[in-house]
Structure formats: structure tokens, C-alpha cells
Amino acid sequence: VLLLQRCLQLLLLPIHALACLGLWDSFYKKVFPYVMAKVAPAYNQKVYSQKQELFSSLRRFAGPSGQLRLLEIGTGTGTNFQFYPAGCRLTCTDPNPNFRMFLLRNLSENQHLRLERLVVASGEDLHQVADGSMDVVVCTLVLCSVSSIRRVLEEVLRVLRQGGAFYFLEHVAADHCSWTYFWQQVCDPFWKYFGDGCCLSRETEEELEKTNFSELNLRHFHVPPCWIPTSPHIIGYAVK
């Protein structure tokens, strides 16, 4: 693993140097939304049936008024909008303001939704969202790149009402005895440069199990092709 990491380090030395100088992050945060605008639709096609099944139960967590107050962490380009129920009251958060143009474009194609707030914030600090104000929190392909999964989940519990639900879909660490995990270990130190801080070997399931949810529904699946480092996924929801 170390030998292959050193080889990659040599190949990516210019990018590593820019990152050390603090130049890569500011540059890539402007480029990343354009990359995701191209990549996200292809990914959505691969997991369409999984997302459709997952989000089909959102309505059951609507409040007494029948309206669903939904907060999405790391909304990005808004690729989940098509799966949300009509009339959904939507609060979107993302730490990267450069996603705004793509998000609004996607929202204009999903007029069955009602955007209430668009907040520039990280998942670790959602202080602009009131305690117990949300019926549902959604997070897809975000926990891999946050600085602290624990802090994000603490914020999720804070903003959810009692009986509300946290919906997630994340790529995670592979089985430690597999070749996929071997390549995750090799690529992990450098993957963050191209995935905006993304970590390939996050043990997200363990963090979810440690969090004080009253119910956790989770299953594993693989996104094809199965040999790529981001193939292992978890999907499900947890109830406060």
C-alpha cells in the first residue's frame, strides 16, 4: 500500500504542491460543481431504483398538517429533487456557494417542490436551522467528505422533530479482506483532491450505530462496476 501511495504521490506532485500552498482547494471548489453537474446524472441512473425505493416512504414522516418539512445536507446540484413528494417544503444547505446556479436550474425542472431556504453551511454547523423544525433530513454522498460524521449526526438529531427521520445513501469502506479495500487504502490520501475532500474508507455504518436513533434501517449494496473504490454503499433511514 505504501509503495503504491508513493507512486501516486509522484504522479500527483503538482496537485499536492498546490494543495500545500492552499491554492488547490479554492480552485477546485469553483470547478467541482461543473464536474458534479456532468457526473451526478450518470450516477443517478445507476442508483435510480434504490433512490426511488428509499424516498417512496418520505410521506409517512409528514407533520400533523400533512406537509413535509425536508432539510437536505450537501444538496449540491439537486439531483435528489425528482424523488421528493409534491408540496415538499425544502431547505437546502451546502458549504459550496458555487453550486447555487446548478441547484436553481434543477429546481426549475422540479416545480412540484417548494424551496423555503437556501443556506450556505456545512453539515457540522446548521445553527441557522431551528431545533426540532424538520420532519426529514436527507444526506446522500456527503458523509464521505465531512470533517466529522459525529458532529453532522448530532446536528441531524437536533434539527429533527421527535419521530422524524434521517435518510442516507453513502459509499463506504469495503470489506477489509477485499481487493476493493486494498485499492481504497492506496487511493485514499489523494482521492480527496478530486472528490472535494471525499474519503474512500469511511466506516459510516459504525457512526450511525453509535448515534442515539430509536430505529435504524440499513442495507448494503454495490454500485457497478463492483471493482471501483466507490462501489460499496449503504442505504436506509434512521428515526429519532
Task: Write out the three cell numbers for 136.
Answer: 426529514
pLDDT band at 229 (very low <50, low <70, confident <90, very high): very high
Q: Tens digit of pLDDT for each residue in 10-39? A: 888 888 888 888 888 888 899 999 999 999
1-239, CATH topology level: Rossmann fold (3.40.50)
Locate all alpha helices (DSSP H) within the chain, ordered by sequence. 2-11, 13-20, 24-46, 48-55, 100-108, 149-159, 179-194, 204-210
Read off the DSSP letter of residue 160.
E
pLDDT band at 113 (very low <50, low <70, confident <90, very high): very high
Residue 93 and residue 73: Cα distance in Å, rounded?
Answer: 5
Q: Tens digit of pLDDT for each residue in 31-49? A: 999 999 999 999 999 999 9
Residue 225 and residue 36: Cα distance in Å, rounded?
Answer: 19
pLDDT of residue 155: 98
pLDDT band at 239 (very low <50, low <70, confident <90, very high): very high
For the chain, domain boundaries? 1-239
pLDDT of residue 183: 92
